[in-house]
Amino acid sequence: MDTRDTPEQAELRRTARQLARELGPRTVVDFDDAKRARRLADAVRDAGWLELRQQGDDGGPLASGVEAAIIADALGEAVVDVAFTGPVLAADLARRAGVHAVDGAVVGFAPDLIGPARVSGRTTTNAVHAVDCAAQGPAIAYVLAPEGDRYRIVQVPVDGAREGADLTRTIRPIPAGVPVSEVAGSRLLTRRDLEAWAAFGLALTSADLVGLMRGVIDLTVAYAQERRQYGVAIGTFQAVQHLLAEARCLMEGALSAALYPAWAVDALDADDARMAGRVAKAYCARAARTVCETAVQVHGGMGNTWECMVHVYLRRALLSSRWFGDDGEQLRELQRSRLGVADGLS
Amino acid sequence: MDFRDSTAEAEFRARLRAWIADNNPGLPVSSTDDEYWARQAEWHTALYDAGFFGLSWPTRFGGQALPSVFDVILDEELAAASAPPRPSLGYLVQGITTHASEAVQQRFLPGLISGRERWCQGFSEPDAGSDLAALRTTAVRDGDDYVIDGHKIWTSYSDVADWCFLLARTDPAVPKHKGLSAFAVPMHQRGIEQRPLRMINGITKEFGQVIFDGARVPAENMLGAPGEGWRIAMTIVSHEREPGEVGYVARYAKTVKDLEKTVRANPAAFRNDQRDGVAWAYVQAEMLRLHVRRRLSERLDGPDHGPGGSIDKLLMTWVEQSVGTAALDLAGSGAVIDGEDVALKIYLYSRAQSVMGGTSQIQKNIIATRILGLPTA
């Protein structure tokens, strides 16, 4: 047992952080800099990060869940406006179905954002949301078509555009009535496959929350050192110090909880991995809400303006928390699996 | 990053699990019952004699020099079997190994680790709690001895201790942090009076007050150099704040398992918020177990006496108080009708966690200034 990064993992962490710092947005104005966004997207693609969970020569993914989580953490830390988790989840799902995800593919989610959308006919019948895909241009979303107790992976085109709460990642809606097409060569997915995939989703969204907590705490500590009131830096006040100290503790606890599912997705069976993911997600989602709200508060009036970066973290936290189920959802699932609570009990 | 047991770890875990199955004393949760404290020494020596305590400490003092992650395996297996937690005294070992001479270490560590000699920690005083350096107990040189006068309070295990790890003022002329020294004071002597202190949940055998009135300690029992007391105390309290050092993970896990069992027996008998409280307590306890795995893995890089223990302490406090609150809420009116209710006692005891070993407010001061680098006024 040794939960430290291997030298390779530590190197990946350094590289990912450096890239995120250099090409990520520093101010809200940077979101409009299309040239930067393009360089960023190219850099992520060139680094091979979108293919991490494609099938490797040995049949398993090219890289482990730990590597994917390290990158998710680094991108969250700098609230980087590039699709990563979406394409990586699509690649992971496609691999389990025995195919390579096509370029630009993401997974289409049901409106609750907890799991993949399901379709039963030749067109979509309910709204589907393509989460964390490229902001513009054509894309495709994988959804599931149930067949007996298994699921076929099928695809739908994405062309609409809408801005969600998160300013750094796109949620594009797919209306009802859009044609569904086959994914050539795919095999049926079992319930187990989907559980293992959901565990990976819980691990990645938890890692993203850990990163963004770290990022927003750094930003807020720097602000508290520089912002002066009553003739002194506000960071000298215990009231402010204690808020930030609590935030740091929450981030550290979240990190400890989130490392385990990232490792577990490749090392443990689907049930155990998903349980690890649920624990991490419940903790990270609650912690991130508090940490981001603290950051807004410590920024005072500035924190309530569009120009201040803290709301970018809070907004990203809202999507990462909700995606694959927020803390309330995870506790409900833990009630079912650990406390024997049956459906319908209120 | 690898959460799997190595071959040696797996072998140890299996051996430990088999031993616990045959030797679990089935004591009540430590926070609820005097029986636990009365039989704690027995549990300590049983664990030690079987080769399951003092795992990461040097062999010359009776330890096994194993990597620190073996301690979390111990916690996990004790938790899985609902066995009592390991004795929490690693922080004293850290203080002595870091600051005392080899001769002093040889004299005291084997008995401390094996449980043959029992220790208490004489730091806090009625007028020196958070402001520990304001303590007034004095140690005055008299020939080959020091003579101790003063009043210590909130002293865990003072009723059974053979030795007191005492912090006393040896030089009143210098600034308050610089005039303190640490001693190993024999408890069985005239000049020391031990009075039990009843906690808010009614237990009497966990901690007490100790009155020193002309007690004597040989000068050679000084731990570290004269005036080094504050630094030693800081080494000790930084580790006293680490769940990896105190082993409370097993205690929380045991309570959470009991709560889960209660709900499973009849889920419909509880409201959703009560069940959520139990599920959240599970999440918190799991987080702490994993946090200890991370912190003890980091120790593979070498020991660290830094302020990180303050983060651990706050996390541990939130866990204990989440568990305590979940227990109280689940018990409903039972905890109000019956003053001896176990959930009531667990809840009341949990309030101490944000005070003992340094209040949560002190931890936040330390984190803000020493970890976040925020300025002081």
Could you say which of A225, A248, A338 has the minimum Cβ distance to residue B367?
A248
Give the contacts of A310 (CB within 8 A, at least 6 positions apart): A216, A219, A220, A292, A295, A296, A299, A303
Round the average pLDDT of chain A to a whole number and report it: 96
Q: For residue A346, what pLDDT band results from cuts at 50, 70 and 90?
A: low
Cite the residue boundaries of each domain of chain B with CATH code 1.20.140.10: 235-371
CATH 2.40.110.10 residue ranges in chain B? 118-225
Give the 3-state secondary structure of residue A334.
Answer: helix
- A173: Cβ–Cβ under 8 A, 6 or more apart, which residues? A127, A128, A129, A130, A160, A162
Question: Residue B348 corresponds to which amino acid?
Answer: L
Contacts of A242 in chain B (CB under 8 A): 361, 364-365, 368
Give me the domain span that covers residue A320.
Answer: 192-339
Q: Which percentage of chain A shows pLDDT scores above 90?
A: 93
Output the pLDDT for position A345: 76
**Cβ neighbours around B27 below 10 Å, total:** 20
DSSP annotation of A50 reads G
> How many domains does chain A divide into?
1
pLDDT tens digits for range A177-194: 999 999 999 999 999 999
A96 found inside a domain? no
Q: Which of B283, B311, B365 sits opposite A249 (nearest CB)?
A: B311
A76-117: pLDDT as tens digits? 999 999 999 999 999 999 999 999 999 989 999 999 999 999
Q: Virtual CA dihedral for B103, B107, B111, B114, nearest 10 degrees? A: 30
Residue from A81, A55, A79, A65 nearest A134 by CA: A81
Q: For residue A236, what is the DSSP state? A: G
CATH class of B7-96: mainly alpha
Tracing tokens 């949620």 back to the chain, one arrives at A171
Q: What is the pLDDT of residue B101?
A: 95
Q: Establish, for the pair of chains A and B, how many residue pairs have beta carbons separated by less than 8 Å.
A: 165
Q: What gap in Å lies between CA A168 and CA A261, rounded to an integer? A: 24
pLDDT digits (tens, 9 = 90+) for A209-238: 999 999 999 999 999 999 999 999 999 999
CB contact under 8 A, B376 and A238: no
pLDDT at B245: 82
| Residues in chain B, pLDDT under 50 | none
CATH superfamily of B235-371: Butyryl-CoA Dehydrogenase, subunit A, domain 3 (1.20.140.10)
Q: Would you give the distance in Å from CA A263 to the centre of its chain?
A: 16
**Identity of the amino acid at A198:** A
- The interface predicted TM-score of the complex, written ipTM, equals 0.97
**Class of B118-225 in CATH:** mainly beta
Q: Report residue B258: phi and psi, to 5°.
A: -65, -40
* pLDDT for A71 beyond 90: yes
Pair A188, A150: CB distance under 8 Å = yes
In a domain, A168, yes or no: no
Residues A157-189: b if buried by 16+ CB within 10 A, e if exposed = ebeeeeebebbbbbbbebeeebebeebeebebb
Chain B contacts of A5, Cβ < 8 Å?
Answer: 1
Query: Any idea what the Cα angle at residue A199 is, between residues A196 and A205, rounded to 5°?
Result: 145
Q: In the prediction, which pLDDT does B250 show?
A: 85
User: What residues of A are in contact with residue B260 (Cβ under 8 Å)?
Assistant: 338-339
Phi, psi of B193 (to 5 degrees): -120, 130
CATH code, domain with A285: 1.20.140.10
Q: What's the pLDDT at B129?
A: 94
- Cα torsion angle, A202, A208, A214, A216, sign: negative
In a domain, A235, yes or no: yes
Residue of B67, B70, B90 whose CA lies nearest to B78: B70
- Write the Ramachandran bin of B166: left for phi over 0, alpha for psi from -120 to 50, otherwise beta: beta
